[in-house]
Amino acid sequence: MTAHPVRPRRSPDEQALLDAELRETFQSRITFNKVLGLQLLSTDPQKASMGFDMTPSLVGHYHYGRLHGGVISAVLDTTAGLALMCAIADHFGDESAAQVLARFNRIGTIDLRIDYLRQGIGERFVATASVTRLGGRVGSTQMALHNERGLLLATGAGAYVVS
């Protein structure tokens, strides 16, 4: 059995640049994320996360003041994309920030399933996502949305083109 050569990891400075670029991309360059008020919380390749505050523009039912289902779906989809980018960055640890970010242009949602478990009631929400499989062409994810009390509101599963 032949051992694969160990590739050098990107430098701490290059990793800091990548993290800053991911933050800029997900919080500012994707303008819909700005509308949602998404804030990048973690670029951990095992469990990426994003948070946002409830605002009047995100209400789906005016009488109850609960989060719109489309917002929940969009946030979980976006967080899954972030998780994939973090997993890709980890997998290709020898690539520069620019090389990893170029891979972002190839990611696209193939399939998305959202299970709405409870009403989207809360003041602050946190979405998390984990990559369950990162293949050469397709990546799979699991996602969850909690409110500030830690109550699980929705879960999701997605498949994404990654090449």
Domains and CATH numbers, the chain: 12-161 (3.10.129.10)
pTM: 0.93
pLDDT tens-digit profile of 42-73?
999 999 999 999 999 999 988 889 999 999 99
Specify the pLDDT at position 61. Answer: 86
CA 113 to chain centre: 15
83-116 exposure pattern, b = at least 16 Cβ within 10 A, e = fewer:
bbbbbbbbeeeebebeebbebbeebeeeebebee
Q: CA-CA distance, 27 to 24, in Å (whole number)?
A: 5
**pLDDT tens digits, one per residue of 85-94:** 999 999 999 9
Spell out, as residue ranges, where the chain has pLDDT lower than 70. 1-6
For residues 154 and 27, what is the distance between their CA atoms, to the nearest angstrom?
Answer: 22
Q: Are strands 66-67 and 108-116 parallel, antiparallel or unpaired?
A: unpaired
Residue 63's H or E segment, with its range, is none
